[in-house]
Structure 1
Amino acid sequence: AYLIYTSGSTGQPKGVMISQRGLSNHMLWMQEQLPLRATDAVLQKTPFSFDASVWEFYAPLLAGARLVMAQPGGHQDAQYLVEVMEREGVTRLQGVPTLLRMLVSEGGLERCTQLREVFSGGEVLTLELAESILRTHDELKLYNLYGPTETTIEVMWQEAERDRVYAGEEVSIGRPIRNTQVYVLDAEMQLVPVGVVGELYIGGAGLGRGYLKRPALTAERFVPHPYSTEPGARLYRTGDL
């Protein structure tokens, strides 16, 4: 489906090969679980060098909704984004918490009266920010997304439920999307008990093919799946604890 470069935590760029299967699985999950309507408008403002841009492009086109394209570099200008969203009646927005915090602090989200869904990803969504976003509109829904580039955009999601956030409950990264498995394992690839620290491993339809022309690194990060009966099944080692 596509090749995209990421540096991750190493700082060394590497080309991640994502399959059509993985992309299709993600987009079908999104439309089934978080459907767009023909009257919706999605803001596309993420540079295409980041995989978060992929669903900004495809989600509205697959659903017959409207794709609103921001100008190049527009993602760095909060005031410009607010003007575009307000003028075009954007109903769905995604962004990293740093950007969302800027939009909230400048009163921008309050002006976007058509906005009904905000998606946060790429950084930790703090309780304080989640509450600030939800208080901008009574009907606004907020979702927290998690996923490495190697596993096709996002693989886990959680709605930030208003009552729980207002009660002081942190927003987790939630549960896996369809056809995805997530494990917390120790150094011996054994499942750890609830409450014990372990490394997050991801398997399923969204798993990338590996790194372009980097077989050693691919073997290091895409490891045999010890809990699958499917021949050749693998897990991705996220490095996240």
Structure 2
Amino acid sequence: MLANLGFVTFIMILIILLFSVFRILREYERGVVFLLGRFQKVKGPGLIVIIPGIQKMVRVDLRTVVMDVPSQDVISRDNVSVKVNAVVYFRVVDPQKAIIQVENFLAATSQFAQTTLRSVLGKHELDEMLAEREKLNMDIQKALDIQTDAWGIKVANVEIKHVDIDESMIRAIARQAEAERERRAKVIHAEGELQASDKLMQAAQILSQQAGAMQLRYLQTLTTISGDKSNTILFPIPMDLVAALTDTLKNRNPEVR
């Protein structure tokens, strides 16, 4: 009886040892193996052998991590207080550095992303935060990538999600946008007047080249006015015609002045 019990115990211990010796790593996993506390190699994927008590393995996931950066209080360069949050996409490219160089690479990357977000956005004005997000995303991504490269981490992308502004600042921005649109309207109107005056000057020069051209223009204007069913029609008389009539009358009757 005792022999059978001992045999069963031996089989169970052997099975436990087999489960602890053989490890299976998925395609997206790597194992950082330490031999007696010293780094040995990076293994995986597939079936690997670990000697219990002598070797120890730490699993590392190589898939892209999507990390949400909590909302940060940022003071822009033009002294506007805003709340900004973002999302960071990164992955481990060197499992050895990710385990040896930093205690917890996920927490370290999260904290560094928060500080980098505040420092980079604090160098820009509010208008740049709202209109140049692509440029700011690239600046934050480069700053993060330089630091995390020593940790074996590659920051693929950074996206600013929301820029929350105070209500008073929103109203100020609305007034600024309204004033900007009014300015553009005035400039467009002035440019239209300038172009119209230029065209009128060219038309006057062309009409002045022929004596009857102006009279034809008057007749065309009269035709246009008569189509409006107006009660009163004002027909302009050229001053040179009035002067000619006056000269004729003076020649016939010298007493007329």
TM-score in same-fold range (> 0.5): no
For the pair shown, the structure with the greater C-alpha radius of gyration is 2
TM-score in terms of structure 1 length: 0.19
